[in-house]
Amino acid sequence: MQTVKPLDSAWRVSTGSWGESRVFVALETAFIIFSILIFSRALVFSLLGADTPAIATDMNSVVEEPAVISQPKILWLYLAIYLGTGLLILPRIRLILRALRSEKYVALLLLLALLSSIWSTDPRETLAKSIALLACTLFGVQLAIRYNTRQQLQLFAAAFAVTIIVSIFVALHVPQIGIMHGLHEGIWCGVFLHKNAMGSYMLLAGIVYFLLVAEAGKLRVLYHAAFWLAFALLTMSCAKSSLLSWMILFTLLGGYSVRIKKPLMATIAMVSVVLAASAFIVQYKYKVLPPILITQVASNVAKAGIDPASVWANLVADFNTAQSNAPPGAFLATANGRLRLWGHLSEMIQERPLLGYGLGGFWRGMQGPSAYIWRLEPWRPPGAHNSFIDVWLDLGVVGLGLLVMSIAAALLGSVASLARGALHVDALFPIATLIALCLAKVAESGLFGANVLTWIILVTAVINAQKCRSRPAVLPPLPALSEPASDPI
């Protein structure tokens, strides 16, 4: 009987000598990192060359709206990424198809999205978004099977490092870009167009750097610093759902670190949980936002220096000042607003419960079914503020069921692999990312859609779980990204 090799092994066998060329590896690595940055929308504002409220709203929505996709620069950029992805996977299309056949829930979800153009309220838009969704999914699949887990972590770490460094820079030196204004005045958004986007990606960055700290040798200090910088940016974003997700996820990771006898990792995780809980309580209960408080303290220290005799009194005064300077958004009952919005959306779901309105067919402003919601909600939400409800609206209960089953199967498979002795990082990466995405996206849009990095990460996690299930229980150490990967069999 012929032995079927794991996906990552089969990929490396099929690459050939050209795939091991140093020049090719360098170009491919640069392409992957650049694409991750674009799909995260961290650099899109500079590429568009515009910062109008309409575009900013669309860029933070669950999927690409016409106002964004019709921008020539970003459209051609996406097409270039699709072309590059196609060139990477074309010689190995059979392996890609094998991966999708193995993950039947993801494949069926893609098929449903394509077919939804038949019953969509805007068939042309749905077809365009479905094709873009397919291209993004293929990008995630090839990323998962082209690189082993540690190499994937290194690629994401490099991309997140760019966003962290540039976010800090623009927040400090270009506040008209790096700091929000109006409703959320003073809150950091970095290179992203909204604070919640920065919070979501810093949560994912925290996972990446935490796992690299546990695995890395010479670069451990750098990864450790990057972990705390990602946490600092998450705190400065004041994204409540991401803070809550951080507390839950890193409590689990800290507990697991204790179980496998890694006290340093457990300490890092639990210290971050305590700090996240403190930031959440101060923000939620006292309406003191960390960026406002830190700015106030830094301003006073710069003016008057530090007087040891009055440090506490000055901190209390700064706390009170920050409380009085809280932006209007700090006093919004966002939970009540979301619950009210979800109630309205449940009425629209009942009209098309089985197959939905088609991919991208619901949130079309005043030209689509969302007009009913906009008339009821003056703040005109661009999405459901719940990714699972968004999927339900687009693809009905069938699409929602396929998404939930794909996540559940990947989680159960990864946990089973971890229990039978798989390498910790191989199983923990998909487990941690899937849990983080599910937690954070219960109160936010953006889990599923075209040109959305979170969907690409979810696809990568699902394929990683499949690879983990197909491997032996014990594997030799994995090579660095710059080294040709060897067959683990």
| Residue 298 domain-assigned (yes or no) | no
| Phi-psi label, residue 239: left if phi above 0, alpha if psi -120 to 50, beta otherwise | beta
User: What pLDDT score was predicted for residue 475?
Assistant: 37
Structure tokens given for 255: 């507990």
User: What pLDDT score was predicted for residue 177?
Assistant: 87
| Residue 321 domain-assigned (yes or no) | no
| Residue 98 domain-assigned (yes or no) | yes
pTM for the whole structure:
0.86
Q: Alpha helix (H) ranges present in 217-289?
A: 220-237, 240-259, 263-286
Element (H, E) at 317: helix 311-324
State how far the Cα of 193 lies from the Cα of 190, in Å rounded to an integer: 8
User: What pLDDT score was predicted for residue 425?
Assistant: 83
Structure tokens given for 206: 């925290």
User: What pLDDT score was predicted for residue 45?
Assistant: 57
CA angle 4–9–14, rounded 5-degree value: 95
State how far the Cα of 354 lies from the Cα of 348, in Å rounded to an integer: 12
Q: How far is Cα of residue 121 from the mean position of the Cα atoms in its chain? A: 28
> Helix or strand or coil: residue 192?
coil
Count of the separate structural domains present in the chain: 1
User: What pLDDT score was predicted for residue 72?
Assistant: 61
Domain around 191: 7-289+326-470
| Residue 481 domain-assigned (yes or no) | no
| Residue 90 domain-assigned (yes or no) | yes
| Residue 477 domain-assigned (yes or no) | no
Task: Report residues of the chain scoring pLDDT below 50.
Answer: 1-4, 7-19, 50-70, 472-489
Structure tokens given for 3: 């032995």
State how far the Cα of 229 lies from the Cα of 421, in Å rounded to an integer: 32
| Residue 1 domain-assigned (yes or no) | no
Q: Alpha helix (H) ranges present in 90-185?
A: 93-102, 104-115, 123-146, 149-173, 175-178
| Residue 476 domain-assigned (yes or no) | no
User: What pLDDT score was predicted for residue 327?
Assistant: 78
325: which residues sit within 8 A by CB, 6+ positions away? 186, 292, 296
